[in-house]
Structure 1
Amino acid sequence: MTAYDYDDLGLVAGLEIHQQLDTATKLFCGCPTEERDPESATRSFTRFLHPTKSELGELDEAALEESQVEREFEYLAYDTTCLVEEDEEPPHRLDEEAREVALQIADLLEMEPVDQAHVMRKLVIDGSNTSGFQRTALVAQDGVIETDDGPVGVEDLLLEEESAQRVEERGDDVTFSLDRLGVPLVEIGTRPDIDSPAQAQEAAETIGMLLRSTGAVKRGLGTIRQDVNVSIAAGARVEIKGVQALDQIAEIVREEVGRQVELLAIRDELAERDASVGDVQDVSEVFADTDSGVIGGALSDGGVVKAVPLYEFDGLVGREIQPDRRLGTELSDHAKRRGAGGIFHTDELPAYGVTESEVDALREAVGAGEDDAVAIVADDPETASGAIEAAAERARTAIEGVPEETRGANDDATTRYLRPLPGAARMYPETDVPPVELDVSDVETPELLTEKVDRYQSEYGLDAGLAEQVAFGRRMPLFERAVDEGIDATFAAGLLESTLTELRRDDVAIGNLTDEHLLAVMRLVEDGDLAKEGVGDVLTTLADDPSLSAEAAVEEAGLSGVSEDEVREAVSEVVERNAAQVQDEGMGAFSALMGEAMGALRGKADGEVVSDVLREEIQKRA
């Protein structure tokens, strides 16, 4: 990994955190916010989306590029899907529960709420919303969080509707699921106060902790997403979208800095060479008898091969700018946005069935010399023309340096081109939802997770590690609900953090266990109707058949409680079988016999009861 002097490079970064709220209903309708299995969809419908002009008659550049490829979008609907989600009915008023949670978050971020929340429409025609726009409202401004490297300002907090979930892509057509569309979401944007990858990571983790402190945000993969804005002094602002894991943010920032450094080095080299980009040409004849499957397949389907000469680019199109990504990959990303499968270029040819003689003929056809590169696209005439023009335009921006753009995060912390940066033309007022007065008088400041850790230790006697696990865990609200009911805190914490972890490792489907399942099992133990030793078996039974009640699961698992007389009888049998050991070792035989006694009772009796009876029986015979 290359080490960079971030101060010297002039690194500036900011974050946009998108977090789903765990409310009962969606932001603009009364539909539930639970995730659904796409297989349970009851019907579907399709739409085509097109960009619209802003109030000033302007078209957003990002939306315009998205519209270059006409896509048909399919939406999976469910038995709970309503007309608002289908964009067949105006949205209802802004959800009150979501407003209250958003104001709690604003309070934790030390932000100033606005007097009125005005809902706006944000143009999105990638199919993620049936209406062609996303509704969003500014809730608060001017906050701050603290990091080890200094404060980071929080510019704004918005309350908006979540997009539909992408399920499948088939060429240009995309299928979305409507279960996620409309789930309340907060977007938190920091100021560009971050000047190192480590500070970006810490800022994101701090905001994440504050969000979870409300106990009212969804947890799990996809429920929180981070966008990272990165630039260096000689580069450009780049928005990286869709970072799923908090612990990937520092690496994302480092990789983007490295990408911009490499692009600037390519710019300087191109300037020294006096590089330029030529005109697009049809070179189909060059590949009339090709053995390349991709090119030959396109030509046999009535397609063409379009080429663009990249003068003085030789060796630079194949130059790596991120791990396993090159300048040619950037050109290919732009071509893909216009519907093509990608590009070939002479820095990687001959390959893919293209011969050296075909490369020579290609250079000759477009007037390219040995210091030049050539990029080609093979596809239907319209797609090939649009794709090669997009690749050519990206090559021209390489001469200028680093382009401003929106990029998508890859799993390996590299990024790919998505679209131009959006502008102000994508926002306009939502006329179907009236403004909402924001009342902050009744907003309660939530207890921070870090404060909960301290309280769990002092109030409930949990050790530091378990207290932190519970406080930062997904089931923290359930833990607090359990102890409020009088359930032993150490037992509840152990079940939620240790027992469930062990069951998951044993491939038990703990995802089938609801909060009510877990709470019911805790109540049985607290009331003496189930031994702690039988909890794992009962939870396994419930996970296998979630329709059972906790009481029925106890019966199913064969763990109905036993009387003290039955316990004594079973323990006496164990002691009698091991009479010689008891005679020789006395209480020294306790540990070995305890395990045997618990096994004989198969979790039907509490360990403390068995322990007391066993001690008595050993003492009788010692």
Structure 2
Amino acid sequence: MTARDYEDVGLVAGLEIHQQLDTDTKLFCECPTLRREPQTATREVTRYLHPTRSELGEIDEAALEESRIERTFTYLAYDTTCLVEEDDEPPHRIDREALSVSLEIAQLLDMNVVDQAHIMRKIVVDGSNTSGFQRTALIATDGEIETDDGPVEITDLLLEEESAQRVEETEQGVTYSLDRLGIPLVEIGTGPDLRTPEQAQEAAATLGMLLRSTGSVKRGLGTIRQDVNVSIEDGARVELKGVQSLDEIAAIVEHEVDRQLELLDISETLTERDAGVGDPVDATDVFADTDSGVIAGAESVMAVPLSGFDGLVGREIQPDRRLGTELSDHAKRSGAGGIFHTDELPAYGVTQTEVDTLRETVGAGDHDAVALVAADEAVATGAIEAVADRARAAIEGVPEETRGATTEGTSEYLRPLPGAARMYPETDVPPVEPDPSGVETPELLTQREEQYVSELGLDPTLAEQVAYGRRMATFERAIEAGIDPTLAARTLEGTLTELRRDDVPVENLTEEHLITTLELVGDGLAKEGVTTVLRLLATDPDLSAEQAIEEAGLAGVDEGTVRSTVVEVVDRNEAQIRSEGMGAFSALMGECMGALRGKADGELVSTVLREEIQKRT
């Protein structure tokens, strides 16, 4: 679609950006914010969660649906896990470092900081928090960012605790890791000002740049998540959660628009057909002798007639997702493995005779469809009711709901949209009065990038990589130490990347390793030896840069040694030089560098080699 097309369908979108902060301790306790490997857990904690009523006596619909699924929640605890994380001790006061970083972000977004921040509890009963709720505080409101298609309002900035990391899910329950729980997190919400998928992606990129400009946010997969709210005219507001990559935002908005348009078209067709959804029917006997492995192994088969749905259940509404997939999502939420439906049958071991008998059993005609669930009796009964409810919603149009983003740019049903009933005050943590007066506004990464080009002479592409890279602070220190900017940039953004791809444990390299190695270039180490030295230091971090150079045999050679080595190579290849002239340079350069084994600077070798070739031509 073009921008005009999106205007015609009435696209309205907004973003919620969730970014972990890189603080020393968690938001409501003194535990470190380091991530751990599940296999290093020292013990397990088990919980059963249920929703509570708000101060007005209401229960949030999303929490209520989540609670209908009976599950045990197991939490992996570590040697650093405290009683706050286990919900066996009240939370401590809010972390001041996290509050200070959130105020920096508020200034970058030109927001109004609240006079007093009150900590609230937000009910979450999917097990991702041991307490059954997430603590959150409104820090600032009424900001703005610019995009090529106009300004975008920033409605609110919240400081909250990160949820636990999901490790494994089985039929019995879910296992979470407590290492992530409580890491400070900012949530930034935009107004419904985004009108095209491209504008949504640009706004997210701008917010990401502003957040990284603080130098106090965590980096890597899972440390930033984008939720996108999308609606179109005659459609509904749908929250798309957990977009991991910036590059996926435009695609997921496009696919959601397409999904809602398809659902509206299906709704119109169903209305014309006077469609309806019947009552669930026990169809177990229909499949008493079935060859379908899935159905034969089930205790119960429940079916529901979908009047007027024939040919529409199998209709594609997103790439590789159909209306039947939507019905299946709801069945899965009730514990079933999915559904079968007559738009795809006979198949999967189900015969035409069984399909005919099924239609007769539930009273379905030629223009009707039938959906069925095969599972244990209780699960099948609950799942078929969920399928029936979703089919009724298809007649109405597009349901409001929360959906999970997939890596393919599509989405799947998660739960109903949450409401205000899930939020109530936290009585264990006192309010705080944020003071932005002493907070300095960070320099934007875009400004640093421009400075690296204009003041340091970096190539624009390399300048961008350094400015947005994880080792920007190390680069700044290298420049202060008098190291050549291009050498520092290429090492930090090129050499380390190559070593990582070779499975070298570059995470073992300290800033001191990097700076010292670069300082020795030209003073006992050739540029060509940097990779070898860093490889050794990463493998054995206890070595010093000087020791690594000596162990690798890379102590630099003087110009006289370089010249004598080059002369030997040239003399050996004099016939090739007389034949090819300077065309022999590349091959001989490689031979010279090999003979010098990385001990000499490449520019010096190149200069001497050119001189010697010219003497012989």
- TM-score scaled by structure 1? 0.93
Show the counterpart of 1:332: 328
Residue 308 in 1 paired to residue 304 in 2?
yes
Contact 1:457–1:464 (CA under 8 A) maintained in structure 2? yes
Residue 606 in 1 paired to residue 601 in 2?
yes
Show the counterpart of 1:26: 26
Residue 103 in 1 paired to residue 99 in 2?
no
Distance in 1, matches of 2:569 and 2:206, equals 55
| 3-state secondary structure, aligned to 2:203 | helix
Alignment of 1:499-538 (within 5 A): 499-525=495-521, 528-538=523-533
Distance in 2, matches of 1:304 and 1:310, equals 20
Show the counterpart of 2:127: 127
Contact 2:46–2:74 (CA under 8 A) maintained in structure 1? yes
| 3-state secondary structure, aligned to 1:433 | coil
Distance in 2, matches of 1:293 and 1:151, equals 57
Specify whether residues 92 and 204 from structure 1 end up closer, same or farther in structure 2 by C-alpha distance, changes over 3 A only.
Answer: same
> How far 1:387 moved relative to its partner?
0.6
Contact 2:24–2:33 (CA under 8 A) maintained in structure 1? yes
> How far 1:586 moved relative to its partner?
10
Contact 1:172–1:339 (CA under 8 A) maintained in structure 2? no
Show the counterpart of 2:315: 319
Residues 324-372 of structure 1 show CA distances to partners (whole Å, capped at 9, x for unaligned) of: 1111111110111111111111111111111111111111111111111
Distance in 2, matches of 1:377 and 1:4, equals 43
Specify whether residues 580 and 349 from structure 1 end up closer, same or farther in structure 2 by C-alpha distance, changes over 3 A only.
Answer: closer
Specify whether residues 542 and 44 from structure 1 end up closer, same or farther in structure 2 by C-alpha distance, changes over 3 A only.
Answer: farther
Specify whether residues 551 and 312 from structure 1 end up closer, same or farther in structure 2 by C-alpha distance, changes over 3 A only.
Answer: same
Specify whether residues 328 and 608 from structure 1 end up closer, same or farther in structure 2 by C-alpha distance, changes over 3 A only.
Answer: closer
Residue 348 in 1 paired to residue 344 in 2?
yes
Residue 397 in 1 paired to residue 390 in 2?
no
> How far 1:136 moved relative to its partner?
1.0
Specify whether residues 453 and 367 from structure 1 end up closer, same or farther in structure 2 by C-alpha distance, changes over 3 A only.
Answer: same
> How far 1:39 moved relative to its partner?
2.2
> How far 1:621 moved relative to its partner?
10
Residue 486 in 1 paired to residue 482 in 2?
yes
Residue 71 in 1 paired to residue 71 in 2?
yes
Residue 550 in 1 paired to residue 545 in 2?
yes
Distance in 1, matches of 2:336 and 2:118, equals 41
Distance in 2, matches of 1:489 and 1:28, equals 41
Contact 1:407–1:416 (CA under 8 A) maintained in structure 2? yes
Residue 468 in 1 paired to residue 469 in 2?
no
Residue 541 in 1 paired to residue 529 in 2?
no
> How far 1:606 moved relative to its partner?
3.4
Q: Please, which runs of 5 or more residues in structure 1 have no aligned partner?
A: none
Residues 221-256 of structure 1 show CA distances to partners (whole Å, capped at 9, x for unaligned) of: 111111000001101000000111111111111111
Residues 534-570 of structure 1 show CA distances to partners (whole Å, capped at 9, x for unaligned) of: 0111222233344544344333433244566665665
Corresponding letter in the other structure for 1:475: R
| 3-state secondary structure, aligned to 1:321 | strand
Alignment of 1:87-486 (within 5 A): 87-298=87-298, 303-486=299-482
Contact 2:240–2:403 (CA under 8 A) maintained in structure 1? yes
Distance in 1, matches of 2:581 and 2:280, equals 94
Distance in 2, matches of 1:619 and 1:394, equals 81
Contact 1:293–1:353 (CA under 8 A) maintained in structure 2? yes
Contact 1:238–1:405 (CA under 8 A) maintained in structure 2? yes
Distance in 2, matches of 1:110 and 1:558, equals 55
- TM-score scaled by structure 2? 0.94
> How far 1:499 moved relative to its partner?
1.9
Distance in 2, matches of 1:358 and 1:615, equals 84
Specify whether residues 434 and 589 from structure 1 end up closer, same or farther in structure 2 by C-alpha distance, changes over 3 A only.
Answer: same
Show the counterpart of 2:57: 57
> How far 1:120 moved relative to its partner?
1.0
| Coordinate RMSD, CA, aligned | 2.6
Distance in 2, matches of 1:338 and 1:140, equals 39
| 3-state secondary structure, aligned to 2:439 | coil
Specify whether residues 361 and 514 from structure 1 end up closer, same or farther in structure 2 by C-alpha distance, changes over 3 A only.
Answer: farther
Q: Please, which runs of 5 or more residues in structure 2 have no aligned partner?
A: none
Name which of structure 1's ranges 609-618 and 550-559 shifts more when overlaid on structure 2.
609-618
Residues 245-283 of structure 1 show CA distances to partners (whole Å, capped at 9, x for unaligned) of: 111111111111111111111111111111111111211
Contact 2:318–2:410 (CA under 8 A) maintained in structure 1? yes
Aligned length: 617
Distance in 2, matches of 1:84 and 1:68, equals 27
Contact 1:69–1:172 (CA under 8 A) maintained in structure 2? no
Corresponding letter in the other structure for 2:534: L
Alignment of 1:573-612 (within 5 A): 573-574=568-569, 577=572, 594-607=589-602
